[in-house]
Amino acid sequence: MRAVIKLDNKIDKDEALALLDEYAEFIEKHTGVVCEWYVERHDFSYVPTTPDSDGDLKPTFAYRKALLKEVHDRYGDYGTDHVIMWVHEDNFLFKGVWGVAWGYVHAKYLLELCRWDKDNDTNTFNTLFHENGGHPHDKLIQQELGVDVNPIIAKHFGLDSFSYDSDYVHGNSPLFKYIGRRGYERDGRMLECLAPYLKRAYALREYKHLERIGLMKQLVKVLSTLVALLSKKR
């Protein structure tokens, strides 16, 4: 799993890297997926917002589109899997939410907005896990592999049916406690259930990236040869 981390200028970088190390260990323990972080500083002191249908304030579509275009210009379609907007609580003006996830809305990325709580590492970790390691996984697997995770999860846990977003992400199943509720403890069971599919999905995305790089190198080589031949004719 590769992620561009847009790190708020107000967040201490050493603290962020330490938490990312802890998070990466958790993900790898339960899935076997290795995390790569591409950390970049970003100014979140002003972000235009707009209310959604519930009245929650979120970054505007135009703002998100511009941010993702800047990333896409450098990384292409598959050079990263996630883009994470990690915003310090002092700059977190998005009322009604602790974080948000958008899957494949802008380019071929999974975009996550996560709040950084300066005095509560547990909340910071859980928000990151919820938005990055919970919300988008069903979308990722469906988009990359064409697999619906709901019947897989239902069979794994011995259930008649299952709704990933409602039952797991929002904790409406008695099997899974909502991550925002008091007393929540880290739970890697869903990661373990989906691990084979997550590994395949992330590996496929990386393969597409490497394949595209290979084609670009071949194109450059052909063009270089053509230029050399044309120069000789002169």
The arithmetic mean of pLDDT across residues 209-226, rounded, is 62
pLDDT at residue 26 above 60?
yes
Band (pLDDT 50/70/90 cuts) for residue 93 is confident
The arithmetic mean of pLDDT across residues 103-124, rounded, is 93
Amino acid letter, 78: Y
- The token duo for 124 is 């910071």
Q: Which residues of 4-21 are buried (b: 16+ CB within 10 A; e: fewer)?
A: bbbbbeebeeeebeebbe
What pLDDT does residue 222 have?
45
Topology of the domain comprising 2-233: Collagenase (Catalytic Domain) (3.40.390)
What pLDDT does residue 78 have?
94
With DSSP H G I counted as helix, E B as strand and the rest as coil, what are the percentages for the chain, rounded to 5? 50, 15, 35
Residue-range domain boundaries for the chain = 2-233
